Structure 1
Amino acid sequence: MIDLTPITTVEALGRFRQLPPVHSRELAGLWRGSGVPTNHPLDGVLENLGWFGKRFHPNLRADALLFQIGPGRLVALDPAYIPLGLALRLGSLGRTRLVRQCFRFLQRPLRAHGHTATLEMQDFEGIRSAALVYDRQPITDRFRRIGHDQLFGMMSAHGDPRPYFFTLTRRE
């Protein structure tokens, strides 16, 4: 189990490096996400907007961003419509009630029409493990195994040196 109390990016990266790899074929299913606070601009933003997690399909395609829009009701949003650069620059704004309320109105036009990312095996610092490559954003999520039903994730946005860390826990 990863402790979700605030840590530094260096500490989170050290933990990530120590964990064993996971194979992309093992990930099929629904996963609940939670951010790991490291003072990244996106800390708390996804949770404020109702982020649920990710869904991986047996064909190695994925719903990269699942949001909860009601009790037991999930919707996949297309990351292509998210202004990544703006979100990284104005992260604190994404933690406000106003943005959360506006986001509710934007969920319908932001809905994905099909899967939005592909699972593959990638090397990171000499270790081959599962990675999720977004179709229309310069984002890669890399995964390491915490336990059988829990993963440690590291999101990298091309051109931004700051990784965003999160955990995923398998749901039935």
Structure 2
Amino acid sequence: MSETRTTTARLADLEPTCTPAEALALYDDLPAVRPDEITGRYRGRELGTGHPMDGLLEQSGWYGKQFDDVDHVHPLLFRTPGGEIFPVEPRKIPLGMVDKVPQAVVSRSRSAVGALKPALRTSKHRARLRAVEHRGVVTAAMVYDHLPIIDVFRRVDDDTLLGVMDLRGAPPYFFVLARD
């Protein structure tokens, strides 16, 4: 079995939920990826580990991320109930409050994404890609322009990344990105 099939199978074994230790073990075993290798639009999904954010992004209409080039990244794409995908201004998403918002409220907000689109949408790129050292490996990371968050990526296969959100004072939040 090839290394790619092995890592893909290992990820599939962990989905949809696993322990933080299992997610970190897979993440640490995955190879680095260079920032210029991950251009394109990616559909995201959460890897549940018991993090306070588990389930909230997907329930709110999160679609994924778009890497146009290393200096031009849309860090948050959302989808309206009608299927339109659009970039969101990250500063308008209350990430510091996500663990305080009841999931029922988040679920209802998904239907409001279309109506909220004019207030949330941005045409400006709000992040960039850089190579950073994380957990002893230099790999691609997405650095937000205005938030103290760095999303760090490892390669699962040619079209799939395992990401971990690095936010000071918070446990790791894991997500998967699959290239459209």
Q: Normalization by structure 1: what TM-score? A: 0.90
User: What corresponds to 2:3 in structure 1?
Assistant: none
Residue 92 (structure 1) shift: 4.2
Match of 1:23 in 2: 34
The amino acid across from 2:20 in the alignment is: T
CA RMSD in angstroms comes to: 1.8
Aligned match of 2:97 = 86
Amino acid at match of 2:130: E
Three-state SS of the structure 2 residue aligned to 1:105 is: helix
Rounded to whole Å, the distance in 1 between the matches of 2:26 and 2:101 is 24
Gap runs ≥5 in structure 1: none
SS of the counterpart of 1:17? helix
Q: How many residues align?
A: 169
Of 75, 79, 88, 1:68 maps to 79
TM score, norm. by length of structure 2 = 0.86
Three-state SS of the structure 1 residue aligned to 2:128 is: strand
Counterpart in 2 of 1:119?
129
Which residue of structure 1 lines up, in the alignment, with residue 173 of structure 2? Answer: 164
Displacement after TM superposition at 1:144 (Å): 0.1
Match of 1:32 among 31, 43, 46: 43
Matched, 1:101 2:123: no
Letter in 2 for 1:16: Y
Q: Percent identity?
A: 37
1:134 to 2:144 alignment: yes
Q: What are the ranges of 5 or more consecutive residues in structure 2 without an aligned counterpart? A: 1-7
Q: Does 1:54 align with 2:54?
A: no
Distance 1:6 1:95, change over 3 A: farther
What corresponds to 1:151 in structure 2?
Answer: 161
Give 1 or 2: higher helix fraction.
Answer: 2
1:5 aligns with 16
Amino acid aligned to 1:14: A
